Amino acid sequence: MTTATVRVPEGLHARVPAEQRGPGLDRDAVRMLVSRGTEVSHHAFVELPGLLKAGDLLVVNTSPTLAAAVDGAIGHARVVVHFSTRGDDGRWAVELRDPDGRGTTRARESGRGRSAPCQGGGGRRAGGPAGTEVRLPGGVRLVLEEPLSERGGRLWWARAASDPLAEPGAPAPGTLTGPGAPAPVTLTRPGAPAPDVLAVLREHGRPIRYSYTERDQPLSVYQTVFALPSDDGAGSAEMPSAGRPFTARLVAELVSRGVRFAPVTLHTGVASAEVHEPPYPERFAVPEASARLINATRAGDGRVVAVGTTAVRAVESATGSDGVVRARAGWTDLVVTPERGVRVVDGLLTGLHEPEASHLLMLEAIAGRAVIDRAYEEAVGGRYLWHEFGDVHLVLPPEAPHAEHCCSN
């Protein structure tokens, strides 16, 4: 079996968080598959402190999760807007999706007359065309302007504006009204500045979720113990889920055993649930103190273990060809592949990914294809659970730390 041929059985989708699967359970009540080379062992996640050693460093993503799904309407047709990434010019990259009647969404159908031809590709764009207006709650409209990338039309840059047709306090067409429905809030009025999209998310948003989950959950379920509010209110469209099983109690135990933590930030965009595209550019920051910790760990006997693929992307984006990590903040378009390799990361704690997911290329860059194939065979056979509420996979090096992972660039 290889990761390319893995098919996740229906019963292995984690539908609810671990703490909701039985009385007395906490977030850390998940299983952990551990790979050291092609050797695989099975553990409870709470055994993590015994698998690390004093001097090891966990790199964690502190990005908070946003309530990034908002109901809207195009004309009289209902649509769900997934807000992905805020641009430097105030626009947002968004994905438009169709409600599926079960509280989740599906990719928009190109045959319903609402998608524009894909430039230079022959397919059809899931968003667009340019100029499409989406009415949102609170008297806000969203105007699509251009695709985020020519590699596909799933995500579009859009600008928020006041809706001149909205009555004060009126909901968007197609949204729920009546007893028990949330009271609409007017965020802008004619002549007012551009609406604050983050205020729209706070008032009307909910966490993005997909059809394999059982029900809506409060935003707190999607926050990790490492999440910190950002000065500008930015955050992740989807939870940096590798950090979810950690509890304050487990973090304290790790620290007491000499394991250190290096915080970084990468605000994740909206994943491609159906087509598994490589990640688009995302905002990140590696602070000076974390850069020093990573460099000091590599100079000593410890291992640098990233908690999640987002932490890998952030750290590797701040690492020079000399292998030195330097403080950096901005946008990264880095895609870690086996050809590029990794320069800093010795190990990775991550969830279990769909076989088509680009994240598996990153795992292959860190551990090699044979290691990942062996691990996923064990995960399916051992009935591990997939997705953001599922079990985790710890990849550790079989050799001495800081073995050469990367190519010359």
pLDDT of residue 180: 43
**What pLDDT is recorded for position 217?**
95
* Domain co-membership, 118 together with 221: no
Dist CA 359 CA 128 (whole Å)? 28
Same domain flag for 258 and 375: yes
| Domain contains 341 | yes
The per-residue pLDDT for 176 is: 43
Judging by beta carbons within 10 Å of its beta carbon (0-12, 13-18, 19+), is residue 409 exposed, middle or buried?
Answer: exposed
Q: Which pLDDT score is estimated for 175?
A: 46
Of 170, 204, 238, the residue at which a domain comes to its end is 204
The pLDDT of residue 188 is 40
Same domain? For 144 and 43 the reply is no
Asked if 108 and 97 touch (Cβ cutoff 8 Å), the reply is: yes
Domain membership of residue 211 (yes or no) is no
Strand pairing category for 105-107 and 260-266:
unpaired
pLDDT score at 308: 97
**Does residue 196 sit within a domain?**
yes
Residue 364 lies in a domain: yes
Q: Output the CA torsion sign for 340, 298, 256, 60.
A: negative
Measured distance CA(185)–CA(407) in Å, rounded: 54
Strands of 188-281, DSSP E: 260-266
Residues 241 and 386 grouped into a single domain: yes
Phi-psi region of 221 (alpha: psi -120 to 50; beta: other; left: phi over 0): alpha
In a domain, 222, yes or no: yes
- What are the residue ranges in the chain where pLDDT is below 50? 1, 111-125, 168-170, 172-190, 401-409
On whether both 281 and 186 belong to a single domain, the answer is no
Structural domain count, the chain: 2
* 223 and 114 in a common domain: no
150 plus 253 within the same structural domain: no
| pTM of the full structure | 0.86
> What DSSP assignment string belongs to 324-346?
-B--EEEEE-----TTT--SS--
The answer as to whether 286 is a domain residue is: yes
325 in the same domain as 180: no
84 and 55 inside one domain: no
Tell me, what's the pLDDT at 128?
A: 77
Same structural domain, 386 and 325: yes
- Domain with residue 335: its CATH number is 3.40.1780.10
Q: Classify the C-alpha dihedral 348-240-155-355 as positive or negative.
A: positive
Supply the range of the domain harboring residue 39. Answer: 3-65+217-396
Same domain, 76 and 57: no
Within a domain: 305? yes
Say what the pLDDT of residue 58 is.
Answer: 99
Domain limit, last residue, from 143, 170, 204: 204
Q: Out of 181, 204, 227, pick the residue that ends a domain.
A: 204
Best CA proximity match to 110, nearest among 89, 127, 94: 127
Based on the fold, state whether residues 56 and 105 are members of the same structural domain: no
For 369, phi and psi rounded to 5 degrees? Answer: -65, -40
Instruction: Examine residue 402 and state whether it is found in any structural domain, yes or no.
Output: no
At 278 the pLDDT is 79
